[in-house]
Structure 1
Amino acid sequence: MSNKKTFFILTIFLIVLAAVIFLVINQNNGNKQSKVFHVGLLQMASTVNANIDGFKAGMAELGYQEGKNIVYDYKNAEGNIDLINEYAKSFVVQRVDLIFSDTSPATQAAKEATTNSTIPVVFSMVADPLRAGFIASIQSSGNNLTGTSCAYIDIAPKRLEFLKEAFPGIKKVLVFYRPGDKSGEPAYEEIKKAGQKLGVQIIAKPVSKSEEIKEILKNLKPFEVDALMDPADSMVTANVDSLVEASLRLKIPLMMLSDLEAERGATITYGVDYLDLGKQSAALADKILRGTKPAEIPIEMPRTFRIVLNLKVANQIGLTIPENLITRVRAAGVSGGRIIPL
C-alpha cells in the first residue's frame, strides 16, 4: 500500500473518530441539560418558611429553574412528628433525587427513611448534627447526609444573656422543650447552665405535643414567670402564636429565634438568618446534583447571626429596652440586627 493511500485512510479514520467523540459529548451534555431533578422539601413547621424560600432562591441562582430542570415536592408537618416521618418515607417511595430537610426532626425522619437508600439528604436548621448522631464528623458525614447547622445549642447561653440585658428585671424564665429532641433538649440544658451564672431561674416544662404547650400557657398566672423562651425546639417554635398571646396577656417578654417570630409578636429574637442559611444549603445541593457524594462535602456553619428587638411589643407590655442595647443593634446593620419600631 502506498504512503499516499495509507495517509488517506488514516485521515478518514481520524475524521470519523472525531465525529463519533463529538456526538457522544453532545449527547451527554444534552442528557444533562434535559435532566429534570425531583427534590423533596421536608419541613417541620411554617415558622422556618424563609429557610425553604432561601434554598429555592439559591437553587434558582445556580441555574435550577422550577418547572424546567427542577421540580419540588413540598411537605410541611406543622409540628406533627408522626406526619414528618410519613412524608420522609413518601419521598423514598417516589425516589426523589434529593431531600432537603429543614430542622432536626425533619432530618431525623429523612435519615431514618433513607437508611436503605442512596438518596442524598441536605439538611438545614440543625442545631448540632454531630451531637444529634446525624453525621460521623463535621468534615465528613460518613453517610448520605450533609448540610448546614444553625448552631442553636452553641448560642443558647447568648440568647439568655440578650434576654436578660434587654429586660434586666427578669428572675424566672419559662422554657418549653421536648424530651429527646436533638435541638431543644440540649439547648435547654445550656440555657439552664447560663441561668445559674446570670442569677436567672429556669423553669422547665417538658412537653410532647402542641396541645400541652397551649394548656400550660392558658393556665399561667400573672407574676408566675417573668419571661418565656423557646430553646430552639421546632415543635415549640411552631406554637409561636400561642406563645405571643401568653406574652401579651401576662405582659412578659418572649425570646424566640428569628425575624418571622418577631414580626408575629415576639419581643426579642436571636438566631440565624433563615433565608441566608437556605441559600448556603443550596450550594451543597448543587454539588450533589453535579455528582459529588454527600460524605465528601463538609458540614457548614452559619455565616451570620441576627438579633431583633421589637420595640412595639415591648411598649405594649409596658417594658422599655435599654437604649445602649438598641444603639448596638442599630450599629450591627441589616445582617446583624434589626429594630421593629414603636
Structure 2
Amino acid sequence: MISEEEIMARSRLFPQLALFGLLILALAGVVGAEPGETTDPAARRYRILMLLWRGETEVEAGFKAYIQEHNLPFDLIIRNADQNSANIPALVAEARQLKPDLVYTWGTPLTLGVIGPYDQANPARYLTDLPVVFTMVAYPLESRIVPQLASSGRNVTGTTHTIPAESQIKAIRAYRPMNRLAAIYNPTEPNAVINIGELRKAAHRLNFELLAQPLPLDANGRPDANALPGLLAQLAAREPQFFYLGPDTWVSDHRQTITEEALRHHLPVFTSVDRPIKDSAVLMGLVAPYFHMGRFTAFKAEQILIERRLPQDLPIETLHRFTYIVKLPVARQLDLYPPLAILNYAEVIE
C-alpha cells in the first residue's frame, strides 16, 4: 500500500488522487481492525477465568466488589477444583480452549498445578501463554511459584496473605507475655510445613519455645481428626501461653474442634489467617482480611487488563496494613481481657 506521503506528493500532479487515496487509507484502517478490537482498553470487555480451590470465599466477594465499584468491564467465568488436585489438568485444558484475557488462581496447590514452578514451567503441562494473577498463596518464594517478589520473571503476578512471623509474635506479646507457643500442623501440606519452619526461626530470634506437633496420619496418609483431643490435651499440659492457628488448610477446616478443645483447656488461640475469626473460638489474631485481599487482587487485574501492564512488571505483594482482631466473648470465657492499649487500634468483635 502506498504511503500518505506518496499520495500527497502525487497530488501535486493529480489533485483528485489526494482525496481518493486518503479515503482508501481511512477505509483500510477500519477494515484492518479485528472485530471488537479497540485502541481504548476500557472500551471493550475482558474475560477472567477464576479457578478456585474450595469454592467462592470472601476473597472472591472482595474481588467482585472492586470490579463493581470501579465499573470495570470484566466478565467472570468461575470454575472450582473442589480441593482435588486431580481436577487441575482439566481446568488447564479448559483455559487453553477458552483463551480468557486473564486467569485467576486461588491458593498454592491450585496455582502450582496451573502454572508450575518457575524453573519447571513446561508449556505442555502448564499455562505459560495466558496472563495469570494468583491470590492466597502463603509462601510464593518457598513454593517456587516465583524466584523473587519484585518480579515473577514470567506471565504471572499475585498477592499473598502471609504476615511475617515476627509480626505475629509481637502481636501475641502485645496481648500477654509469651515464652511458650503451641501448634499442630499437617505434615503433608507444604504451606503448613514452611510456616512451622518460619515460626522455628522466629522462636530462635525472639527467644520463645515452639511446641509444634505434627498430626498423625491414618492408613490413607491423611491427618487423623480423631487424634485432635489427645494432641490438644498433651500440648495444654506443657502450659503454653497461646495456641497458634496458621496457614494450614486441614487445620483451618477443623478449626471449630481445635478451638473448642483449646478453650476447654483454658488455652487462648491466636490466628494469623482470617477464616477462623468468624466461626470459631479464637481469642485474637493479626490477619490480612480475605475481603481486602480480593479487592487488592482485583486491582492487579485492573493494572494488567486496563492499564496494559505486564504481569512480570508487577511485584507480588501483601496488604500494606493488617488487622488486629480481639473477640470479647472468648476473652470473657477465658477471663483474659486485652490491655487497654490494644483497644486503641484493634477491631473488637462483641
Q: TM-score range by the shorter chain?
A: 0.7 to 0.9
How many angstroms does 1:31 deviate by?
11
State whether structure 2 residue 237 is matched by structure 1 residue 224.
yes
How many angstroms does 1:275 deviate by?
1.7
| Residues 23-32 or 113-122, more deviating | 23-32
Specify which of 175, 184, 189 is matched with residue 176 of structure 1: 184
Aligned to 2:349: 340
Secondary structure at 1:126's aligned position in 2? coil
Secondary structure at 2:103's aligned position in 1? strand
What is the count of residue pairs matched by the alignment? 319
Aligned to 2:50: 40
Secondary structure at 2:136's aligned position in 1? strand
Asked if the contact 2:196–2:212 (Cα under 8 Å) also holds between the matched residues in 1, the reply is no
Task: List runs of 5+ in structure 2 lacking aligned partners.
Answer: 1-9
Aligned to 2:94: 94
Aligned to 1:288: 304
Counterpart of 2:192, as a letter, is: G
- Against the structure 1 CA distance between its residues 35 and 178, is the aligned structure 2 distance closer, same or farther, given a 3 Å change threshold? same
Residues 112-191 of structure 1 correspond to what in structure 2 (within 5 A)? 112=116, 115-116=122-123, 117=127, 118-152=129-163, 155-168=164-177, 172-179=180-187, 181-191=189-199
Specify which of 329, 335, 344 is matched with residue 319 of structure 1: 335
How many angstroms does 1:56 deviate by?
2.3
Secondary structure at 2:159's aligned position in 1? strand
Partner Cα separation in structure 2 for residue 299 and residue 259 of structure 1: 20
Counterpart of 2:296, as a letter, is: Q
Partner Cα separation in structure 2 for residue 30 and residue 166 of structure 1: 55
Asked if the contact 1:88–1:109 (Cα under 8 Å) also holds between the matched residues in 2, the reply is yes
Partner Cα separation in structure 2 for residue 244 and residue 106 of structure 1: 28
Asked if the contact 1:143–1:295 (Cα under 8 Å) also holds between the matched residues in 2, the reply is yes
- Against the structure 1 CA distance between its residues 180 and 8, is the aligned structure 2 distance closer, same or farther, given a 3 Å change threshold? same
Partner Cα separation in structure 2 for residue 165 and residue 221 of structure 1: 26
Partner Cα separation in structure 2 for residue 36 and residue 190 of structure 1: 39
Counterpart of 2:237, as a letter, is: E
Asked if the contact 1:258–1:308 (Cα under 8 Å) also holds between the matched residues in 2, the reply is no
Name the TM-score, length of structure 1 as normaliser. 0.78
Asked if the contact 1:273–1:304 (Cα under 8 Å) also holds between the matched residues in 2, the reply is no
Aligned to 1:247: 262
Asked if the contact 1:41–1:73 (Cα under 8 Å) also holds between the matched residues in 2, the reply is yes
Partner Cα separation in structure 2 for residue 151 and residue 259 of structure 1: 11
How many angstroms does 1:206 deviate by?
4.4
Task: List runs of 5+ in structure 1 lacking aligned partners.
Answer: none
Secondary structure at 1:173's aligned position in 2? strand
Secondary structure at 1:29's aligned position in 2? coil
- Against the structure 1 CA distance between its residues 203 and 9, is the aligned structure 2 distance closer, same or farther, given a 3 Å change threshold? closer
Asked if the contact 1:174–1:228 (Cα under 8 Å) also holds between the matched residues in 2, the reply is yes
How many angstroms does 1:182 deviate by?
4.3
Counterpart of 1:331, as a letter, is: N
Aligned to 2:6: none
Partner Cα separation in structure 2 for residue 211 and residue 319 of structure 1: 36
Aligned to 2:3: none
Specify which of 250, 259, 268 is matched with residue 235 of structure 1: 250
Counterpart of 1:270, as a letter, is: L
Specify which of 285, 303, 310 is matched with residue 269 of structure 1: 285
How many angstroms does 1:260 deviate by?
4.2
Q: CA RMSD in A?
A: 3.3
